[in-house]
Structure 1
């Protein structure tokens, strides 16, 4: 059945920019409910919260793009009426970092990672800084029909390193742009929705067929390790041996934990350091800080090395990137276009 918002499906937009800070939590909860996401939001009293959302209908789906700053959220108990169809959420991380938990699966999404969330089951997430995500809210049955009957896809992560990711990312990013700029004829909308679920089924099956059984102990251990890394990014001597010794595990076991999460210790550490530097380059309040100072504060030991990595990741030098944000109004960074998929750095 098509999504309904007190009438025929329509495009909707929400932003907290004009909402007084004391009312933003309730406003954002109501905004998420409009796209069938009943969430309880928890904000930090020490930090200002900003969020924006744009959503477009596509047959019985809703294509969503949202930007959010730091907060936590958990799914509220289902209030679905008898006969209302069950739904699920495809979540594509375009920029930033988010930690999620559904059932026994706890994992993080870095840039270009994808997750599948079953909206009939409890889940929660934590955004430590800010994030830009693309999402597809769709009937659960349409996904289940394209997978083995026994497939449980709640809380599945599709790492950016998967061969299907560039195709999946490009398709859904273009899908959002198309639904936002063109009124599709109903038969066309139906066919495109079918192709979207077909592609999603292929990507999910590729992961389901190769994944090991989930281990709550390993998931919780990896989450604690990532939290420790986040708190110590500024330490230039933060190495795999240091972290392994902290948690009394072997370096081989630590490498296995990250490999099961679709990344490596080095790649995760490098990307989190780059993310911290990028946020400070976007911050007009930090404009007086030298780029070398920002790099050293994130644990890089050489400004030249940092600049090479930054340019390879964001296609701009740190100075060019900072210049793009100078003189722009508003407390939050503008919503960027989805970056093009690229191969992981060695």
Structure 2
């Protein structure tokens, strides 16, 4: 039976009530990455998914009956962005297998796993879990080091796991009910906590650098998502990430860049993409510049020429000639 119609919310979220293993398999493959799902009782299978997202961070609560999930080598080879997933077991238990390691997760426990490597998750009874999924660079740690800990149980009752697991569970409970700015702040805190937990377990030296890289990745993601916002500037970015503008400028300076220069370069790249898009031939050059934050046509033309060696009108003319 097909899933009931989802109730959607802003930010890429929604609720799904699912009947039958095929409907569930399609839903989780869409919500996460392509997966193979099986169960010993397909006709009696029932599940519920509740999803919400901000930027590239997705939070999903899964409430389902017993089944087996497999991310096979063949499914991995189909490609797609490499992501990390953090699963918090709220009820029931799970056996997670990846990279030759096995982790048995009981209620309150959590584990990290990697969608770019095969894995399996076996749920022997009804269960409920929360899954946080995000691109690997957002964790701010070398993926090869994080992979040393995939399918490793973090206890939900001791150590940093006792802090991270309850926080992620509470975030999932309220995430799709919160306005976008609150979701953005919570996702930032969630990633910081996961980074701290994994760094501590790895014993990574230079943890401050890992935190800096994680923050920089999140700032880049924020800029990308707000390029059309005329109010995007160092002050608004620093406020969104709860840092001072001085710290934000230092973050970019360490990479040999500036905040304003990064924003300008990303906006110009979007303008160039639109100017070379045959589907936007009817859109005036000035309108394309304005769409991406260049309200003054003369300033847009000057900045574009400085970046690409020709005015935007020449780029558009080349498309006409083609």
Q: Pick the TM interval, shorter chain.
A: 0.5 to 0.7
Residue 147 of structure 1: CA displacement? 5.8
Query: Stretches of 4+ moved more than 6 A in 1?
Result: none
The C-alpha deviation readout for 1:93-125, integer Å capped at 9, x for no partner, is 011011111121012111111010101110011
Name the TM-score, length of structure 2 as normaliser: 0.54
Are 2:205 and 1:207 equivalent residues in the alignment?
no
Contact 1:147–1:205 (8 Å) recurs in 2: no
Residue 46 of structure 1: CA displacement? 8.2
Report the equivalent of 1:226. none
Residue 208 of structure 1: CA displacement? 2.8
Identify the match of residue 158 of structure 2 among 162, 167, 175. 162
Report the equivalent of 2:286. none
Contact 2:21–2:42 (8 Å) recurs in 1: no
Q: Which has the higher helix share?
A: 2
Contact 1:12–1:56 (8 Å) recurs in 2: yes
Report the equivalent of 1:137. 133
Residue 41 of structure 1: CA displacement? 1.1
Contact 1:25–1:43 (8 Å) recurs in 2: yes
Identify the match of residue 13 of structure 1 among 9, 12, 15. 15
The alignment yields a C-alpha RMSD, in angstroms, of: 2.4
Report the equivalent of 1:30. 26
Work out the number of aligned pairs and report it.
Answer: 192
Report the equivalent of 1:223. none
Q: Cα–Cα, structure 1 residues 45 and 105, in superposed 2: closer, same or farther, change >3 Å?
A: same
1:42-81 correspondence runs (5 A): 42-45=38-41, 48-76=44-72, 77-78=75-76
Residue 192 of structure 1: CA displacement? 3.1
Q: Distance in 2 between matches of 1:46 and 1:36?
A: 21
Identify the match of residue 192 of structure 1 among 180, 186, 190. 186
The C-alpha deviation readout for 1:219-272, integer Å capped at 9, x for no partner, is xxxxxxxxxxxxxxxxxxxxxxxxxxxxxxxxxxxxxxxxxxxxxxxxxxxxxx
Q: Distance in 1 between matches of 2:29 and 2:177?
A: 24
Identify the match of residue 103 of structure 1 among 99, 102, 108. 99
Where 2:44 maps in the other structure, the secondary structure is coil
Most deviating of 34-43 and 190-199: 190-199
Q: Distance in 2 between matches of 1:48 and 1:120?
A: 31
Contact 1:101–1:125 (8 Å) recurs in 2: yes
Higher RCO structure, 1 or 2 (CA under 8 Å, sep 6+) = 1
Q: Distance in 1 between matches of 2:14 and 2:27?
A: 9
Q: Cα–Cα, structure 1 residues 71 and 147, in superposed 2: closer, same or farther, change >3 Å?
A: same
Q: Any unmatched runs of 5+ in structure 2?
A: 1-9, 205-322
Where 1:34 maps in the other structure, the secondary structure is helix
Residue 36 of structure 1: CA displacement? 1.9
